[in-house]
Structure formats: structure tokens, C-alpha cells
Structure 1
């Protein structure tokens, strides 16, 4: 029996259900009394309890049963969801999350004290005293309606045991719904001894259950088993259904039962088909298997490039055509494979509802979280790695962005503050914004702290943007006393470093007294494969991410002469800062007679990369740089070309940032003011003006 695989499935589904439980609880606080949400909340805990019971996880069952009783009273209208009860249920949800991660009840001893404390707090909300915990009183506490006699015929797939399913676990859990009046084991399908497989299941059960539950509650017992079980359910007072196993051929039914042909009695055909469609729309895949697929696709892209190169060298028209067709198919496979890892960012955004709620309560503030762009898709790997930086930004927006209600009222603002999470696609990348409607950053206070820490000179004349960017300095903070939440600058350098590690960037925009503060994060859609543009400098080959390429143009002889004496170029009445890749990366050799410029854009800023030759577009499989090269600035990775040659992938974001630093140093060396506009990176510059 693959019990380990079954337990992993239980863990995955429990985590999803507990995530839903948190989301529904937060929604119920604003939509109190909505029956649909209350029922959904109950079913989350009910399903976790049932699945845990099948694996004998008594420590999970015992605790969730009490929570389930409280939620049953809530949906019955016997109690109301107050702020205090919501807080308690959220803490219970966190405790259940810890319990399900413990595979053995004996290993949950360290959680007993916290669990007992929560159970004591839940006691006033229960319908019955805690000491009435026998099976019969459990059923009475859960179901106050008139009990009827249900007949449930269960047929078990022969592979159920191999998938870790314990048939008796389902029978035991049915007993918690009411009283089991009769359980008959059906052994008609038992084969001859010489054909008996000890790992196969040949039994079925005919169960008579007296309970006041509805059909859905009975079906939920078997929800975790999926298509390994086949049910026939007769409601109280209904004529018994025909036996599933024919006496004339008792041995055929279980062996021949198709795993996807699970039919439930008294369920309309359309409903049955709807359930089947739902079951095949989603397939759970282990992340490492998906990563391996992406790696193999990457190798396929490289192999395809090799085939294409060999075909062009051969001069055979048929070979070139075959290579072109192969490239098209590989590109489709690449896109389809990458789509498998694309997930909406909304699930990550929803986690911050709890963060904002808890932080605002701790700070004595009233803050709402507004989410837009939740449907925007991003690579799952990027989503997982961006969660921590986003958490820090959201917590700091609540702490230092939004003011206290009394302060907001004095300023003429609504007492309730707002934190806004937004996501959208832009130029082949994803942009995530974290903004608040607070008072913005205090420029004078930031300057005082920077002078105090010797980050700048007292007479430095900085632009507003340069002052605000000080918060990204390591350990920079304006707070007098550090707490768990304080310090808009505490850890902001780590936030920026983590985002840059994902080939992204974070910038501070729109600060001000009226507009609050906005952090804007730009990230690539995927970390595995990109469309690139190849260029050669001497013997070295470089790849520029294609979504950042604006245009390519050849330098005229006059432009080559001018660009040799200055770091910018007048390109169609626009100042274009230049980066000579030969000089920047110390490529040996002399430049050729012809040179070209690749115009790139990032975050609204343009620059020109001077190269020797333009080689065209190329599907690029990103390989990380090894440790001794990881410190190099301006490179984000490497790739292998069809010829076997290694090409370096340019980090355009870092290169443009270095231009800004270069210009600032140039201005400083000429004694110019810090807040003078930077040439080439600021709109409205006259290209004919002398420097």
C-alpha cells in the first residue's frame, strides 16, 4: 500500500481546505449571516475531520470535531460570528494546520497545551458540555433533526488498498454521523485461493445508517477516496436499489469496474456528468516532476537549435524545411510546458487579507485590503519566492503608511485606511504594486537619519527620489524603537535583494502627502526559458531579453566617431545613453569597422548597447551562473547555443542602473547639484544642448 502517497494527498487537500477556511472566515466578517459562506466554512472543517479519521489521526479528529460543533451552531443561527469568535476560529484554523502536519498522534504532544487552551475558549460556543463525547452523543450534537434509516451500498475498487485507502476507516467515520444499525460485508467477489492477491480488495459493504444527515454529508465521507469507491445510496423511505453485484456473476463487478465510471444513485445524469467533468479538469502534479519536464524542454530547445544550425550549414533545402518545422513544434511545446507552471497571483494576494487584519488589530488601526488584477498569471516558482517580500511590504504599509483613525480624521480622511495590491502584465513582464493611502514618506526625517548615519553629507542636495531611495539602504530606519512591525526601512534592502535575485526590480513611486506611497515590483513571467536576441562582441556572444529590445540600428561612421568621445548619442532627437559592451566586460580585441546599437528599454528608461554583430532572435534556456561568476554585475545567467558555445544573458536592469550611477559620478566630479536632471534618463532634455 502506498500510504506515503495517500498521506501526501491528504496533506495537500487539507492545506487547500484550511486556506479556504481562512478566506471564508474573513469574508464572513464583512458578509455576516450569509448561509452559503457558513455552509462552505463548515464543510472545510468537516472534510478535514473526515479525511483525518480515515488515517486514524485522532489528534486531528478530536480537535476538529469541537470546531465543527461550533460551526454547526453558527450555520444553524444559534450563535453569531462576533469579532472575538472570528479571532478564535482563525487561531483554531492555525492550530489545525499544525496538527495535520503531524503524521502520528503520539508526535503531537507538544501541541496539546495550545490545543487544550483553544478548546477551553471554544467551550462557551458549544451546544453540549465537553464531557459528552461518546459516539452517540456526537451524533446527537451534530444532528438535531429527525433521524431516518439510510441504506448505503459500497463497492471498493481492487486498487484501493494499494492507494492507501482503509475501507474500515470509512465505516468508522460513517458511525460518527449517526448509529450504524447493520454492516454486512459482501464477499461475493472473492477469487479462488490461487488467484488471490493480498494487496487487492475484493470486499463490499451494505450499511444501514440511522441518522438525520443529508445525502451530501454521506457523500462527503467518501470525497477523499475519489474514484476508488462506488456508492449506491437509498434515502429514508425510498425503495431499495438493485444490488450492484449480480448473483449470477459475482466475481466480475469489482474487477471490471472502471475507475472513472463512478455513478451515484438518485443523482441526475447532468449532475453526474458535471462531477466527472470537475474531476478531470484538475490533475495534481508533483512540483519536481513539472520542474524536470521544464528542464527537458530546455534541453530540447538547445537540441533543436543544433539541428537548425546543422541544416543551414548543409545547404539542403529539405533539411532546412524540416528544421524549421521542428523549431515551430518545439516552440509550441515550450509555451505549453511553461503554461503548466503559470498560476493566478490572486491566491497569493488573498493570503494578505489575514496579514492586514492581524496587523491592523495589533496596531489599533482600521485597514482594508483592496485587490485588483488577481487573475494575472505568473510562474509558480516566482509566486512562491515573491511571497516573503510582499509580506514585508504589506506589513510596512499597514505600520508606517496608514495613519491611526484619529489622525486620519484630523486630516479629513476616512477613518478606515486602505492598502492596495495590484498586478498586471507589461512588456513581457509582470508588475506588482503595493500602495497605501497614508501620508507618504517624510523627506526631512529621512534626510536627518541619513546624515546621522553618515550616508550623505549635511550639505548634500538630493532629489526627492534619491531621498526616498535611502530606505533601501541596509538597516536604514526612522523609528526610535524597533518592534516586530516597526521600520519601513528595516529589511527593505533584503526585499530589494530578493526581488533582484528573481531578475526583477523594485522602485518607489508616487510618494506624497496626498497620494500615500507605492512600491512597484517588476518581475519576469518565468525563470526558465525566454525569447532572446543574440549579439556578438569580439569572440563573445551575448543574449538580450527580447521583450526589452526596442530596435536595432547600425552606427554610421560619423556616429561611431562621436560616440567614441561621449557616452550618449542623439538618436532621432532623443538622448540615448550608451554602454560599450566591449569595454564594460573587458572583451579583448579591437572593434570592427562596423558597429551596431541595440536599443533597450526597462521601466521607462532607454539605453543603447554597442555591439559588433547582430545575430537575430534565439530561444534561450536560462542556466544559472556558477558561484565564482555570480558576483558579476550586468549578467543574469548563461545559455548554451546550438553550436555548443556558451552565451551570457545580459541583465538590462542592472546595466541601466549603472548608467545612472555613472552619470551621477560624472555630475559630482563637475561640482554639479545632486538634484539636477540626469541626462538621457529624464524626459524633456534638449539633445542639442552641450554637456
Structure 2
């Protein structure tokens, strides 16, 4: 095999594994819907199609372990479809376990390593699936029995199935491997004879290296049905012509097949009959005169040839062409696979690393464009300014379009939790209803992947700690089934993800008592609800009275918070006793590029997310102070008291008091704060670069960017900035300095801000 062939095969194999994961999600989704609504035949059909697709593609790549195990699950699903078996907890449990087992087998295919334990679990679970149908477990036939089977096949070859297969010219171009179908056919029985038909192969100078000229005549011994044999070639339905003759077919059936393959070419017919005789088919046929449609009509009982629907007959040696799937043009078989006529004509699968590289290049283009625009402003040439502005407009459109390629609905992540809720609820003996809303909210693909584990922990926590048992809920007047909700929506340039339940809520006193025991707070210290809930995110903090398989070790919520903050996000809790708990996660739309607002503080460039900027105003009189120790305070903005923070003094930089300074009012959800800066530089397309580890100690910085001039600007994290000011002991000065006239106003503002943050 050449290097090019090996690369093509590797890419195709990777595509198969990716598609198999999608089919597993479809398989699981169909089963979960079916469990809640056993009469939903479409969900049953969806699960069956997913299993059949996995088995078929696995057979094409020679993944025999996947094929044999998936066949058992598919057989049980077929029994459900035919009403030969009723759906119950045992069947549902076995099918869901089958989904996990198939995933493990696919993992072996991906890694190229086999695990004896996986093989043993496959055999055990396959036995359970067969037992649910009342069938005995599979066993290897003894050598004598196998020999008898082979002898029978040799002596009774004329009683087996006969397959006449011709691949069309575009089969290879469309990614099909003819031999893979024959390998897969062997999973249903024994191929006793096969002859390759090469009559269509042209002379070397006329040969098209990408075209397929092959055909096969196959004798096949199997107990499989006609439909099962048809399904083997379902994936090649658009690129092949196949006729299937059942065991015991009369000579007339072969004569009709010869007419279809060879037309009126007597020499080709003779060669085909000789081929069949060499394969062990014994019969006498008349070569002259040829059978014609009129002759067939005259027969008293013309044979009926069962076969897969095929295109118009063509003489042996004529190369037939199928539709080119690459262009989406060509004839489609009625009732063919949906994926051939649907998604593949509208979607293109792209490797994630190639997309990341494209986004990096667009980022560099944005930086280079900013530099060109800056030079145009310095030159002051109107023609150059107009040209660079047009280029920047196109760059921005390209940037937005490229980033949109990375945006995916978060609903795919939400859908994974249906299985989690089902399994955990059964483990805990609770009834839980999962409600998902906002699944079409889009988020950067990298963030969707990163948020899955934190969400998993929050969902399991809600089910274990938050929701009560049926008896406890009935005793408090609630419905026996608990409600767990996942919701997502866009707000102020960010994505908000909510996990809520209608359970018992957080126990404030128990949390405080545990915090005092661990010396996290002082005895008698008064804390707001928001501050109490934040204690849950302390490492090792847990109020569970006993350790379970799900929770109780105090490991998790601190990891959840760190994971969210690593994505430049925030997490907050709110709860009411007896009514439930709401966990809210706020994330930026993307980690790659944003629209920013450029400012300067103490000679350093800072960028704020433009979506977080509410307005810019002159510095109010109550914010002006020559006291270098005064970092923060409050001011009156049209009747509303807002906190302010002097960024220069906050970062230990001497402010430039010789020029006019400004306040940038920014918002983080419902909370607003005024940031005092030295200069306003205007909007700026910001390509986010990660900060080096030596800058990790700096507070409330989300990253950096490069300006068109080549200077570095720091990206401010608004929510982190506000939180750092409060958590770092700045809260009293941020609201009002102790002993000032604004003390009463401060207490009210503290309560207001924290109340909004908890909402």
C-alpha cells in the first residue's frame, strides 16, 4: 500500500469513528425518548438505524468485534420493532449498556489495542441480549461440525445464494472499497466461491486510474434472509448494480441474469455460463436462441428474480457511472439512506486543528490591518484612509464569519445529561424530570467541550444533595418527581448557563457551622447569603453527613469554579430553603477574538470587552482625590449610587492627573461599576493572546493583545476585576471608606450589589 493510500485510509477510518460517535448519540437519544414513551416508533427506528449504520461501516473497515456485538443489539431492536419482544427495564438497561460497550469497542479500534476484559464483557453482554430474546448464548462449533458445514457447502453449492455484483465507475471516487463489502458479507455466512469479472477493464492506454471496472460473481452459504443480505450492500446502493438469486433458483433465472449482464453478446454469455459452472453451479441452458422478453411472456410460469432495485441493464463490458456524491449531482435511490441525500450535501467535515489555524491567521490579519490603518491615519491621505477602511471592513466580516464556524449549539452538550439523569436517578431511587431550554444558544466549540465536566458535576450535585426522595417531597406537599432544569441564553455579550432544581435548597446554618469548624470564618461573623454560598467553592468543603459514590468528599466545586474562571467566566449561586437552588455560569462568547474598547492607564494600554461597556463620562467630583491611598469609592450617576475603581491605583501605577481623565461605566450582568482611566482610545478589534505564567499573579486580567503599532495591551476581565476588589479586602473602600459620610449609603449599596449578584 502506498503512502497516499495509507493516508486516505487513515482519514476514512477517522471519519468512520467520528460518525460512529454521532450514531451512538442518536442511539442513546432514541432509547431515552423510547423509555419515556414506549409507543414512539420513530425513536425506536432512529435507534435501530444508528445501530445498523455503526455495524455497516464497522464491517467496511474490518472491525469484526464491533460488527458481531452490534449485530446482537440490532437483533433485539428488530424484535422490538416487530413486536416480538416488549420493552421493559431489563431490555432498556441491556440496550443502554450495549451503547457503552460499543463505545469501548470503538475505543479499541481508535487505539489499535485489544483488551481481553472488553472482549469478555462483550461476550457476557451479548449473551444477555440473546437471553432476552430466548436464544441460547453463542458458542464456537466443534471442529467436526465445522468440517461438516464446509463439506455440505462444497457438495450442495448449487443450493446456496448467488450474488451478481457490478460496481459503477464512480465507486472508487466516492470512497468505496469493493472488497470491504465482501469481507462484511462473510459475517453473515460463508463465501463458497467467488469469481472477479474483468471484462469491463479497458486497454491500458484507455484506463482511468480513478474509475472502477470490477464485478463479482459470488456463491454464498448463509441462513440470513434476503433483506439481511441486501443490507450488506446498502452503503453502496448508489454505486453498484446487484442481483441476488435465492437458493434453488431455476436455470431460467440464470438465463435472465445472463441477458441482463451480457445483452445479445453470445461470446460474453458463454463466458459467464462457463464462470458459473466453474463455481459449481450445475444446469443445462440454451445459448441459442437467446431468451427475449416475448419468450418470457410465453412461459406459463416465468421465474421471479428477487433482487435489489437496479438501474437499466447494460451489456457486460460497458462501464456504468453513478451519481458523483462529491458534487451532490446524480440519481438517488428511492428509500436510500438519508445521509446521502441530506447532510453531506449541506455540511463539510473539517478538522478542528485546521479551523484553529485559520482563526489564528485571521487574528494576525486583524493585527496587520490595524497597523496599516494606523499608518494611513498618520499619513493623512484620504485615498489611503478609504482603502484601509474598506480592507478593515472586509477583515471584520471575515473575522465574524470565521468565528461563526466555531460556534455550535450548546444543546448537544445538554443532551448528554439525559442519560446521566436517568442512571443517577435510578441509583439514588429518585424520580427526576430533566427540562432543557435554550439548547440552540451558540457557544465557541472549545468552550462547549470545556464546560461539559463542570456541568456534569453540578447536575450530579443537584440530584444528590438538592432533590429529595419521593417520600420527602410528598411530605412537604411537592410532586413526587423532582425537577432539574438546564437553560442557556445570551446576555450582554456573554452566554449564561443555568442549572436549577426545585429541591430542598442550601442549608445556610449548616454551611456556616462547617465553615466555622474549618476556620474559614470567625465565630459570630455576619455574612450575607451571597458570601455564605461562596463558601461552597472552598477546596475540600462539604456538608454531606456521609460519603457516597456520587459526592461527600469535598472535591469538585472548587474545581468547577477554577474551570469556569479559566474560561474567563464566573459562577454564582442563589438558593431558597425548600424551593431549590440556581447555579448561574456566565461565559464569554469566544476565547479567540472580541470587539474591544481601548483605554490607557499610567502609560499602559488596557482593553475592555466592548459588550461590557455601558457609557463613558467625565470623572465626577466625588471621585477626584489627591489621596494616593484612595483606590475606590462611590459616586452618584443620575440618581443611582455606583461604585468606582481607579485602575491606576488599583494596579499600583501613578495616575496621570495632569490631563483630563474619564470614567468607563461597565456592566457585569445586573451589576455596574465605574472604572477611572487616563485616556479613551476608542474601539479596537482584539485578538486574545494568553498571558505568560509570570503574569498570572496580576489581578483581573483575561489575556493580552497586540496593537497595530506593535505594542502590547492587557485585556481586563470585568467580573474578575470587580470580584478581586471585593475579595481582596477592597469592598469597604470600594463602597465607602470607614467613617465617611457615605457609610449608611454603603451598607445599602453592598446589600443591593450582592442581591443582584445572587439573583
User: Same fold per TM (> 0.5)?
Assistant: yes
Q: Equivalents in 2 of 1:380, 1:240: separation in Å? A: 43
Higher mean C-alpha deviation, range 149-158 or range 330-339:
149-158
Is 1:173 the counterpart of 2:180 in the alignment?
no
Higher mean C-alpha deviation, range 559-568 or range 422-431:
559-568
* Equivalence for 1:395: 460
Shift of residue 679, structure 1, vs aligned partner: 5.4
The TM-score normalised by the length of structure 2 is 0.80
What are the residue-to-residue correspondences of 1:528-677 with 2, within 5 Å? 528-555=592-619, 560-561=624-625, 567-588=633-654, 590-661=656-727, 662=729, 664-665=731-732
Shift of residue 166, structure 1, vs aligned partner: 3.2
Q: Equivalents in 2 of 1:631, 1:226: separation in Å? A: 62
- Change in Cα spacing, 1:573 to 1:557, as seen in structure 2 (3 Å) is closer
Select the structure of larger CA radius of gyration. 2
**Which residue of 71, 84, 97 maps to 1:78?**
84
Shift of residue 591, structure 1, vs aligned partner: 2.7
- Change in Cα spacing, 1:214 to 1:33, as seen in structure 2 (3 Å) is farther
Is 1:456 the counterpart of 2:521 in the alignment?
yes
- Change in Cα spacing, 1:678 to 1:322, as seen in structure 2 (3 Å) is farther
- Change in Cα spacing, 1:73 to 1:650, as seen in structure 2 (3 Å) is same
Q: Which SS does the other structure have where 1:107 is aligned? A: coil
* Equivalence for 1:423: 488
Q: Is the 8 A contact 2:620 2:635 kept in 1?
A: no
Q: Is the 8 A contact 1:11 1:100 kept in 2?
A: yes
**Which residue of 312, 327, 330 maps to 1:242?**
312
Q: Equivalents in 1 of 2:163, 2:579: separation in Å? A: 63
Q: Equivalents in 1 of 2:480, 2:217: separation in Å? A: 61
**Superposed CA offset, 1:246-268 (max 9, x none):** 84xx4x65699674467457639
Higher mean C-alpha deviation, range 111-120 or range 289-298:
111-120
What are the residue-to-residue correspondences of 1:284-299 with 2, within 5 Å? 284-299=349-364
What are the residue-to-residue correspondences of 1:262-281 with 2, within 5 Å? 263=330, 267=334, 275-281=340-346
The TM-score normalised by the length of structure 1 is 0.87
* Equivalence for 1:64: 70
> RMSD of the TM alignment (CA)?
3.6
* Equivalence for 1:315: 380
Higher mean C-alpha deviation, range 99-108 or range 590-599:
99-108
Q: Is the 8 A contact 1:57 1:105 kept in 2?
A: no
**Which residue of 543, 547, 551 maps to 1:478?**
543
- Change in Cα spacing, 1:14 to 1:191, as seen in structure 2 (3 Å) is same
Higher mean C-alpha deviation, range 550-559 or range 353-362:
550-559
Q: Is the 8 A contact 1:554 1:597 kept in 2?
A: yes
**Superposed CA offset, 1:633-690 (max 9, x none):** 1111000000111000001111111333345455999599x999745455499xxxxx
Q: Is the 8 A contact 2:645 2:675 kept in 1?
A: yes
- Change in Cα spacing, 1:265 to 1:356, as seen in structure 2 (3 Å) is closer
Q: Is the 8 A contact 1:532 1:620 kept in 2?
A: yes
**Superposed CA offset, 1:348-391 (max 9, x none):** 00101111111111111111111011111111000000000000
Is 1:155 the counterpart of 2:225 in the alignment?
no
Shift of residue 55, structure 1, vs aligned partner: 1.5
What are the residue-to-residue correspondences of 1:114-129 with 2, within 5 Å? 114-126=121-133, 128-129=135-136
**Which residue of 437, 442, 445 maps to 1:377?**
442
**Which residue of 473, 477, 491 maps to 2:556?**
491
What are the residue-to-residue correspondences of 1:111-150 with 2, within 5 Å? 111-126=118-133, 128-131=135-138
**Superposed CA offset, 1:364-423 (max 9, x none):** 111111101111111100000000000000000000000011111100111111110001
Q: Is the 8 A contact 1:344 1:377 kept in 2?
A: yes
**Superposed CA offset, 1:548-581 (max 9, x none):** 1000012266753499866222222222211111
Q: Which SS does the other structure have where 1:599 is aligned? A: strand
**Superposed CA offset, 1:564-622 (max 9, x none):** 86622222222221111111222356433311010001021111111111010011000
Q: Equivalents in 2 of 1:651, 1:407: separation in Å? A: 43
**Superposed CA offset, 1:137-164 (max 9, x none):** 9xxxxxxxxx999876432537459x5x
Shift of residue 515, structure 1, vs aligned partner: 2.3
- Change in Cα spacing, 1:226 to 1:587, as seen in structure 2 (3 Å) is farther
Q: Equivalents in 2 of 1:106, 1:635: separation in Å? A: 44
Q: Which SS does the other structure have where 2:108 is aligned? A: coil
* Equivalence for 1:141: none
